[in-house]
Amino acid sequence: MSFIKAYKLTFSYNGNKKIFDEISFEIHKNRKTALLAPNGAGKTTFAMLLLGFLKPYLGYLSCLEMEVQKDNIKKIRNRTGFLFQDPDSQLFMPTVFDDIALGKKQNNDNDIDVQKATMDLIDYFDLRDLKDLYPGNLSLGQKRIVAIAGIINSCVDAIILDEPSSQLDARSIKKQIDVLKRIEKDMLIISHDIDFVKKLCDDAVIIDKGKLVAEGPVKEVLDDRDMLEKHGLI
């Protein structure tokens, strides 16, 4: 079974230059997969297409075995958590606890279940010292971990992360990798950070100039330094 499948996917903004030109690849379930591309080559655009925020496209695109079409968009979004590059876009509650608990509350779970599930995640990700703080006062790395915990608490089946290592120092990147390694969900990491991807992901897909460049196990794909340099990734 596949987490994501694209077949002859074609997309452009307002009929201009094609961002994707009959691109085909498959991302398997139960894997952490990186989507790599140079800046401006369509990484975030792909996520927006996948979650139904951009349309129309030509070809075929599916997420969690559901074609990305009008009738399925709500179901796909309910089962897929998306971490924005800027976590302030999704952190807006008074405390860290409240932000992590929000998704569980929206599932109409009872207060005892919400409390237990939220505290379990707070302890799992070592956030107890932060739980009563206002999220806006946290570091960028801490905000991203809080946002990830909130996504997990929403009981999603898959997570898409947009440049999770960007603007972080080495210590925060290590913490981010440690946190993401623990998560046993389908995961798409949108990135151009080769070192981050090597330490975290099982597979990699590389796109450039609207075309598929490479796909396969991370070590196999990312050991080809000539190819990475040709496509602006190193």
DSSP states of 169-227: -HHHHHHHHHHHHH--SEEEEEE--HHHHHHH-SEEEEEETTEEEEEEEHHHHHT-HHH
pLDDT per residue of the chain (234 residues) written in tens, 0 to 9: 899 999 999 999 987 889 999 999 999 999 999 999 988 889 999 999 999 999 899 999 999 999 999 999 999 999 999 998 899 989 999 999 999 999 888 877 788 999 999 999 999 999 999 999 999 999 999 999 999 999 999 989 999 999 999 889 999 999 999 999 999 999 999 998 999 999 999 999 999 999 999 999 999 999 999 999 999 998
Pick among 3.10.200.10, 2.60.120.560, 3.30.2020.30, 3.40.50.300: CATH of 2-230: 3.40.50.300
Give the whole-number percent of the chain exceeding pLDDT 70: 100
Q: Which helix (H) or strand (E) element contains residue 152?
A: helix 140-153
Alpha-carbon gap, residue 133 to 64, rounded angstroms: 35
**Domain ranges within the chain, ordered by starting residue:** 2-230
What pLDDT sits at residue 40?
A: 85
Q: What is the pLDDT of residues 43-90, one digit of tens each?
A: 999 999 999 999 899 999 999 999 999 999 999 999 999 998 899 989
Alpha-carbon gap, residue 86 to 140, rounded angstroms: 8
